[in-house]
Amino acid sequence: MRSKRGFTLVELLVVVLILGALAAIAIPRISQSAEKAKINACKTNVDLINSQIELHYANEGKWPEDLDDILSNESYFPDGPPECPFGKKYIYREARHRVIEHTHE
């Protein structure tokens, strides 16, 4: 009696096709999720910086002259200033006393 061991070529091809179809569905969704996570992290950083600008005003009675007054101060950011996940710089708008969101292109 001969016992069968291993897989036939057809069985292997079916498995490879199924894995390929799953990868074709999953990879774009994962990359979209990573992009959304970066955008959300950037928005959170902007909110955090703006709250520290408000705290500076509450502590000092005046608005910071530039963003470096806040970002370089360890009492506002003891673990270091937040960095944009896209590698862009945050821009301080003195007229509004806020850091505004930037595009993520």
Per-residue pLDDT of the chain (105 residues; tens, 9 = 90+): 566 677 888 889 999 999 999 988 888 888 788 889 999 999 999 999 999 999 999 999 999 999 998 999 999 999 999 999 999 999 999 889 999 887 766
Return the exposure string of 5-22: e unless at least 16 CB atoms fall within 10 Å of the residue's CB, then b.
Answer: eeeeeeeeeeeeeeeeee
Domain regions of the chain by residue span: 38-99
3-state SS, residue 92: strand
**Residues recorded for the chain:** 105
Quote the pTM value.
0.71
- DSSP percent split of the chain into helix, strand, coil, nearest 5: 55, 5, 40
Q: Could you say which DSSP state residue 98 is in?
A: E
